[in-house]
C-alpha cells in the first residue's frame, strides 16, 4: 500500500462528515470493555485465547475485577513458582504491584518483560499489547492534544531486533497483522509496508481537511500513529514521540563491531517514551540466554521486591554488590514461562472460556502422548539447551575462551601496512595457506586463506629490509617476526541454497561449492596448500587435486581432540601476541563479522579427557566453522615462529626452565606475556608504532571518508549478502 498524495486528498472529498468527526472527538473512552473484549470480540481483534493467556492479559491490564477464580489460582501458582530453582511465573509481590498501579491511575503495566521458551506465545502477546496501544491512542481522537504534544507530530511504536529482517519477520509482522485484522482499526490504515505501518486518527482527518480547505494538498502521508521495524544497527528515531518500544529477542542483542550494545540501545530508546508517562509501553519478549547483558539486568531489577526492597533470593541468581540497594520498580511485570506455559489447561477450554481447543501449540515433556514424548526426547538429547530454549531458564555464564579486547585488536588496521580487505586475487610473490571446514549436514562450510608478512622490529619498530624473520641489526635487541594476514574468508550457508525437494531442507550444494573453490584457487595460484577437515570432503579433494596438483597441495587433515586443543592454545597465543590480523567479513547478521562473533563466543569446557574449546549450543552464535578454519591457517603459518619465540623468551629471560608441555601448548607464551616480558606484540612495539596509531586514530576522527576506507566489512547494506562475491 504505497502512498499517493492524490488518493489521500480524495479521502476528505468523498464522504467526509465533519459533524461525525467532531462528534467522535467528544467520546474519550475506548469503546471496548476489557482487554479480553478487545482481543476476542469480532468488533476488535477477534482472536481465540487459551485460558492462561486470558489470565496473563487480565494481569497485565490490572483488570482484577474481571478475574475469575481460575485466573486467581493461576496467578497464585505463578507467584509461588517464581522463587523456585526453575523459575516459572510472575514476581511474588505481584498483587502489591497491581494495587500500586491501580491506586495511581495506571491502565496497564508499563514495562513488561516476557522471559519465555520458544513459541511460548510471546509474539502474539506482544501483538495484542501493541495493537491495543495503537487502538487506545486512536480512541483518544486527537492523542497529541491529550498528551500536550504539537499536533503534527507522529507517534511511534518501535520494534527493535538484532536485524531489521528479524524485526520485520517476527514481532513487527505479528503487530501489523493484528492491526490489519482488527475491525476497529483496519479502515484507518493509511499505509502498510513490510517495515512500517501507519494509522490515520480522526485528528489527522481534520488536519487533512483543514489543509485542503486552505488549498493545500499535502505531499506527505498524514497518519500520526506509526509502527516501525528497526535493527539494532539503525539509529533510534531521535526526538520522536514514542508510545511503545518493543525489544524483540532482547537477550540476544550483542555488540557486533559497529553496532551498539543492548544496554546502549535500551538507554537510547527509552527517553522517547517519557511524554506518555503511565501510558507508555515497553515490551521485552525473549527466550533467555546467559546471565549477561541488559535483558538479565532488567530481569534482576524487576525482581526487587516492593515491600522489603530486597531482591528475591534464589540460589541460582548471583547477588551482585550494589544490587541489594536497588529500589523496587512497581511498573515492571516479569512473566517467565516455558514454551507450553501459556497453553496449559487447554483441554478445559469449553469449561473455562467457552472455546474447545483441538490441541495446545506447545506440549510439556511430561505426559504419555507422542507429543509429550517428543519433548522429553529433546530434553534428553541436550538438557542444557532444552532448559534455556524450551523451559525459559537463564543459563549460567560460561567463561569466554578468548579475551574480547584481544579479539577486537585482531581486526584493527596495522600501522605498518595498508588496511586489509578481502582479496579477489592472490599475488604471485606470496605463498598462501588455505583451509576448508566442510560442516556436517545443515552446518556452514567455511574457507580461510592467509599468508605471512614480516612485521617491523618488535623493539625499535623499524620496518624490515627483507621478508625474512630474524634479529634486528639496527637496535640489536629486537626481532623481526612473521605476522599472519588474512586474505579471504568465505562461508557457504545452507539457507543460501534452494530447498532440496526430497528432504524439504535447505542444504549446501557441494558441486557449487566445489566450483566456487576451483574459482578461488585459480585466482590464488601461489597457494602452497589447501587442506580440508576430514568430514565429507573426499570427492571434493579428488576433484581439486586433479585440477591443481602438484602446484597446490590439496589434502585432508585429521586432528585428534588433543591436537585440536593444542591448536586453540596456539591460536590464543598468536592473538594475544597480536601476531595475526584479519579484515572483517560480513557473514553475520546485517553484514557484520562472523569470525569476530565465533571467536567471542568460544568457550572452554572441562571434559574427562581434559579441557575442550567448544561453540555455544544456543544463543546468538552457535557456529565455529569459520573460527576453525581461521585457527588452522593461523597456527599452521606461525607454527615455527611461535615455538622459536617461546624458546627465545625462555633462554633470554629464564621465565621457565624447560617446560616442554607449556611450550607446546602455548600457555607459556601467555605466561611470558603476562609477566610483561613481551608487551602486546608488533602493535605496541615502541613509540613509533604508537605515534602512527595515534595519527591514524586522529585521521579517523577527522574524516568520514577516511573511516569508510578503513572499515570495508562494516559498510555493507542491510540484508543477506550475496552468496558469491567474486564475479566469475
Ligand atoms: Zn630493532
- Who wins on pLDDT, 715 or 256? 256
- Who wins on pLDDT, 307 or 329? 329
Q: Which helix (H) or strand (E) holds 681?
A: none
Is residue 251 included in any domain, yes or no? yes
- Who wins on pLDDT, 236 or 435? 435
CA angle at 284 for the pair 364 and 327, rounded to the nearest 5°: 110
Q: Of 638, 663, 680, which closes a domain?
A: 680
Per-residue pLDDT band for 666 (boundaries 50, 70, 90) equals very low
CA distance linking residue 125 with residue 290, whole number of Å? 24
Q: Which helix (H) or strand (E) holds 115?
A: strand 111-116
- Who wins on pLDDT, 391 or 325? 391
Residues in contact with 664: Cβ distance below 8 Å, sequence separation at least 6, in sequence order: 566
687 CA from centroid of ligand 1 (Å) = 12
pLDDT digits (tens, 9 = 90+) for 478-520: 889 999 999 999 999 998 888 888 888 888 888 999 999 999 9
Residues in contact with 233: Cβ distance below 8 Å, sequence separation at least 6, in sequence order: 163, 256, 258, 259, 260, 590, 592, 718
Residue 279: give the domain boundaries: 5-25+121-286
User: Is pLDDT of 681 > 60?
Assistant: no
Instruction: Say whether both 281 and 408 belong to one domain.
Output: no
pLDDT score recorded for residue 292:
77
> Residue 487 sits in a domain of what CATH number?
3.30.420.240
Residues in contact with 501: Cβ distance below 8 Å, sequence separation at least 6, in sequence order: none
Phi-psi region of 686 (alpha: psi -120 to 50; beta: other; left: phi over 0): left
633 CA from centroid of ligand 1 (Å) = 28
CA angle at 188 for the pair 161 and 199, rounded to the nearest 5°: 30
- Average pLDDT in the 562-574 region? 92
Sign of CA dihedral 143, 149, 154, 155: negative
Q: How many residues does the chain have?
A: 728
Instruction: Say whether both 542 and 673 belong to one domain.
Output: yes
Q: Is 506 helix (H, G, I), strand (E, B) or coil?
A: strand
Is residue 83 included in any domain, yes or no? no
Per-residue pLDDT band for 4 (boundaries 50, 70, 90) equals confident
Is residue 311 included in any domain, yes or no? no
Phi and psi at 161, nearest 5°, equal -140, 170
Is there a contact between 161 and 248 (Cβ–Cβ < 8 Å)? yes
- Average pLDDT in the 698-722 region? 32
Is residue 374 included in any domain, yes or no? no
- Which has the closest alpha carbon to 428: 445, 451, 396? 451
Is there a contact between 251 and 295 (Cβ–Cβ < 8 Å)? yes
- Average pLDDT in the 608-632 region? 90
657 CA from centroid of ligand 1 (Å) = 27
pLDDT score recorded for residue 727:
28
Is there a contact between 390 and 338 (Cβ–Cβ < 8 Å)? yes
Residues in contact with 697: Cβ distance below 8 Å, sequence separation at least 6, in sequence order: none
What would the grid cell of residue 79 be? 507467584
CA distance linking residue 361 with residue 53, whole number of Å? 12
Q: Of 286, 319, 340, which closes a domain?
A: 286
The model's pTM is 0.74
421 CA from centroid of ligand 1 (Å) = 28
Name residue 230's beta-bridge partners.
Answer: 160
User: Is pLDDT of 314 > 90?
Assistant: no
Q: Which helix (H) or strand (E) holds 166?
A: helix 164-169
pLDDT digits (tens, 9 = 90+) for 510-543: 899 999 999 999 999 999 999 998 777 888 999 9
CA distance linking residue 570 with residue 643, whole number of Å? 10
Average pLDDT, whole number, for the chain?
A: 83
pLDDT score recorded for residue 400:
84
What would the grid cell of residue 331 be? 511498573
What would the grid cell of residue 465 be? 629490509
91 CA from centroid of ligand 1 (Å) = 64
Is residue 485 included in any domain, yes or no? yes
| Number of Cβ atoms within 10 Å of the Cβ of 473 | 10
Among the ranges given (167-171, 187-191, 334-338), the one the predictor scored with the smallest mean pLDDT: 167-171
457 CA from centroid of ligand 1 (Å) = 5
| Number of Cβ atoms within 10 Å of the Cβ of 238 | 9
pLDDT score recorded for residue 237:
57
User: Is pLDDT of 663 > 50?
Assistant: no
CA distance linking residue 317 with residue 315, whole number of Å? 6
698 CA from centroid of ligand 1 (Å) = 26
* Strand order across the 482-492 sheet: 553-557, 527-533, 432-438, 445-454, 482-492, 580-581
CA distance linking residue 640 with residue 452, whole number of Å? 12
3-state secondary structure string, 457-499?
Answer: CCCCCCCCCCCCCEECCCCCCCEECEEEEEEEEEEECHHHCCE
Is residue 126 included in any domain, yes or no? yes
603 CA from centroid of ligand 1 (Å) = 37
Residues in contact with 67: Cβ distance below 8 Å, sequence separation at least 6, in sequence order: 55, 58, 75
pLDDT score recorded for residue 710:
27
User: Is pLDDT of 677 > 90?
Assistant: no
Per-residue pLDDT band for 658 (boundaries 50, 70, 90) equals very low
679 CA from centroid of ligand 1 (Å) = 15
Per-residue pLDDT band for 604 (boundaries 50, 70, 90) equals confident
640 CA from centroid of ligand 1 (Å) = 21
| Residue in the structure block whose three cell numbers are 509496508 | 193
Is residue 702 included in any domain, yes or no? no
Is there a contact between 631 and 437 (Cβ–Cβ < 8 Å)? no
Instruction: Say whether both 13 and 146 belong to one domain.
Output: yes
* Dihedral, 344, 346, 351, 352 alpha carbons, nearest 10: 50
pLDDT score recorded for residue 705:
30
pLDDT digits (tens, 9 = 90+) for 25-69: 555 678 999 999 999 999 999 999 999 999 999 999 999 999 999
Residue 147 exposed, middle or buried by CB count within 10 Å (0-12, 13-18, 19+) = middle
| Residue in the structure block whose three cell numbers are 521458551 | 117
Per-residue pLDDT band for 166 (boundaries 50, 70, 90) equals confident
- Who wins on pLDDT, 488 or 702? 488
478 CA from centroid of ligand 1 (Å) = 5
Per-residue pLDDT band for 721 (boundaries 50, 70, 90) equals very low
636 CA from centroid of ligand 1 (Å) = 26
What would the grid cell of residue 545 be? 587435486
577 CA from centroid of ligand 1 (Å) = 17
686 CA from centroid of ligand 1 (Å) = 10
- Domains held by the chain: number: 2
Q: Of 260, 286, 312, which closes a domain?
A: 286
664 CA from centroid of ligand 1 (Å) = 27
Residues in contact with 65: Cβ distance below 8 Å, sequence separation at least 6, in sequence order: none
What would the grid cell of residue 58 be? 487480565
What would the grid cell of residue 388 be? 534455556
pLDDT score recorded for residue 204:
94
462 CA from centroid of ligand 1 (Å) = 6
414 CA from centroid of ligand 1 (Å) = 18
Sign of CA dihedral 124, 130, 136, 142: negative
CA angle at 628 for the pair 648 and 531, rounded to the nearest 5°: 90
Per-residue pLDDT band for 665 (boundaries 50, 70, 90) equals very low
- Bridging pattern class, strands 241-247 and 445-454: unpaired
User: Is pLDDT of 20 > 70?
Assistant: no
Is residue 392 included in any domain, yes or no? no
- Average pLDDT in the 660-685 region? 42
Among the ranges given (367-376, 389-398, 713-722), the one the predictor scored with the smallest mean pLDDT: 713-722
Instruction: Say whether both 279 and 416 belong to one domain.
Output: no
pLDDT score recorded for residue 326:
62
Q: Is 286 helix (H, G, I), strand (E, B) or coil?
A: strand
685 CA from centroid of ligand 1 (Å) = 10
Q: Is 229 helix (H, G, I), strand (E, B) or coil?
A: strand
User: Is pLDDT of 664 > 50?
Assistant: no
pLDDT score recorded for residue 708:
28
688 CA from centroid of ligand 1 (Å) = 12
pLDDT digits (tens, 9 = 90+) for 97-142: 999 999 999 999 999 999 999 999 999 999 999 999 999 999 999 9
User: Is pLDDT of 193 > 90?
Assistant: yes
Amino acid at each position: 500500500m504505497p502512498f499517493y498524495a492524490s488518493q489521500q486528498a480524495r479521502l476528505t472529498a468523498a464522504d467526509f462528515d465533519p459533524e461525525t468527526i467532531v462528534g467522535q472527538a467528544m467520546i474519550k473512552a475506548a469503546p471496548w470493555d476489557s482487554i479480553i473484549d478487545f482481543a476476542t470480540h469480532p468488533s476488535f481483534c477477534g482472536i481465540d485465547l487459551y485460558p492462561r493467556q486470558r489470565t496473563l492479559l487480565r494481569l497485565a491490564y490490572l483488570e482484577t475485577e474481571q478475574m475469575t477464580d481460575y485466573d486467581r489460582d493461576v496467578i497464585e501458582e505463578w507467584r509461588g513458582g517464581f522463587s523456585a530453582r526453575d523459575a516459572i511465573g510472575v514476581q511474588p509481590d505481584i498483587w502489591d504491584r497491581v494495587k500500586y498501579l491501580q491506586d495511581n491511575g495506571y491502565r496497564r503495566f508499563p514495562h513488561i518483560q516476557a522471559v519465555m521458551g520458544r513459541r511460548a506465545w510471546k509474539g502474539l502477546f506482544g501483538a495484542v499489547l501493541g495493537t491495543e496501544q495503537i487502538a487506545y491512542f486512536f480512541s483518544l481522537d486527537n492523542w497529541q492534544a491529550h498528551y500536550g504534544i504539537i499536533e503534527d507530530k507522529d507517534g511511534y511504536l518501535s520494534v527493535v531486533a538484532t536485524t531489521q529482517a528479524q524485526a520485520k519477520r517476527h514481532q513487527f509482522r505479528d503487530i501489523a497483522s493484528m492491526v490489519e485484522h482488527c475491525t476497529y482499526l483496519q479502515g484507518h490504515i493509511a499505509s502498510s509496508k513490510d517495515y512500517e505501518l501507519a494509522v490515520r486518527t480522526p485528528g489527522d482527518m481534520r488536519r487533512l481537511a483543514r489543509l485542503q480547505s486552505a488549498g493545500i494538498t499535502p505531499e506527505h502521508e498524514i497518519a500520526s500513529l506509526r509502527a516501525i521495524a528497526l535493527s539494532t544497527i539503525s539509529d533510534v528515531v531521535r526526538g520522536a514521540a514514542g508510545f511503545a518500544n518493543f525489544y524483540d529477542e532482547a537477550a540476544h542483542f550483542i555488540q557486533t563491531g559497529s553496532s551498539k550494545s543492548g544496554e546502549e540501545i535500551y538507554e537510547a530508546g527509552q527517553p522517547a517514551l517519557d511524554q506518555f508517562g503511565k501510558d507508555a509501553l515497553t515490551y521485552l519478549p525473549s527466550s533467555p540466554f546467559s546471565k549477561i547483558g541488559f535483558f538479565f539486568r532488567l530481569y534482576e531489577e524487576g525482581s526487587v521486591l516492593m515491600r522489603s526492597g530486597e531482591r528475591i533470593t534464589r540460589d541460582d541468581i548471583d547477588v551482585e554488590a550494589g544490587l541489594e540497594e536497588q529500589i523496587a520498580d512497581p511498573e515492571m511485570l516479569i512473566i517467565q514461562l516455558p514454551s507450553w506455559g501459556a497453553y496449559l489447561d487447554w483441554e478445559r477450554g469449553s469449561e473455562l472460556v467457552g472455546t474447545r481447543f483441538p490441541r495446545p501449540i506447545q506440549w510439556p515433556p511430561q505426559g504419555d502422548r507422542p507429543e509429550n514424548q517428543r519433548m522429553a526426547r529433546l530434553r534428553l538429547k541436550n538438557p542444557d539447551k532444552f532448559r534455556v530454549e524450551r523451559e525459559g531458564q537463564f543459563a549460567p555464564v560460561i567463561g569466554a575462551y578468548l579475551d574480547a579486547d584481544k579479539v577486537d585488536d585482531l581486526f584493527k588496521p596495522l600501522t605498518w601496512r595498508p588496511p586489509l580487505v578481502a582479496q579477489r586475487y592472490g599475488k604471485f610473490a606470496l605463498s598462501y595457506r588455505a583451509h576448508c571446514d566442510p560442516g556436517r549436514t545443515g552446518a556452514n562450510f567455511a574457507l580461510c586463506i592467509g599468508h605471512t608478512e614480516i612485521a617491523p622490529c618488535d623493539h625499535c619498530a623499524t620496518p624490515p629490509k627483507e621478508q625474512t624473520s630474524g634479529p634486528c641489526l639496527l637496535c640489536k635487541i629486537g626481532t623481526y617476526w612473521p605476522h599472519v594476514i588474512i586474505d579471504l574468508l568465505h562461508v557457504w550457508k545452507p539457507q543460501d541454497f534452494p530447498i532440496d525437494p526430497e528432504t524439504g531442507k535447505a542444504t549446501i550444494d557441494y558441486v557449487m561449492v566445489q566450483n566456487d573453490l576451483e574459482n578461488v584457487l585459480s585466482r590464488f595460484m601461489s597457494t602452497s596448500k589447501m587442506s580440508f577437515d576430514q568430514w565429507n570432503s573426499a570427492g571434493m579433494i579428488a576433484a581439486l587435486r586433479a585440477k591443481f596438483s602438484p602446484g597446490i597441495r590439496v589434502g585432508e587433515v585429521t586432528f585428534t581432540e588433543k591436537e585440536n586443543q593444542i591448536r586453540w592454545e596456539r591460536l590464543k597465543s598468536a592473538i594475544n601476541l597480536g601476531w595475526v590480523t584479519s579484515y572483517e567479513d560480513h557473514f553475520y547478521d546485517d553484514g557484520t563479522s562472523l569470525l569476530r562473533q565465533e571467536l567471542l563466543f568460544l568457550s572452554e569446557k572441562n571434559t574427562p579427557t581434559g579441557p575442550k574449546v567448544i561453540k555455544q549450543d544456543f544463543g546468538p552464535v552457535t557456529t565455529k566453522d569459520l573460527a576453525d578454519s581461521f585457527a588452522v591457517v593461523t597456527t599452521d603459518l606461525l607454527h615455527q615462529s611461535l615455538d622459536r619465540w617461546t624458546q627465545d623468551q625462555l633462554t633470554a629471560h629464564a621465565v621457565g626452565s624447560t617446560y616442554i608441555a607449556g611450550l607446546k601448548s602455548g600457555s607459556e607464551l601467555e605466561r611470558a606475556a603476562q609477566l610483561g616480558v613481551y608487551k602486546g606484540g608488533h602493535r605496541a612495539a615502541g613509540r613509533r608504532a604508537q605515534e602512527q596509531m595515534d595519527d591514524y586514530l586522529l585521521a579517523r576522527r577527522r574524516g568520514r571518508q577516511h573511516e569508510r576506507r578503513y572499515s570495508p566489512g562494516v559498510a555493507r547494506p542491510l540484508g543477506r549478502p550475496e552468496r558469491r562475491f567474486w564475479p566469475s
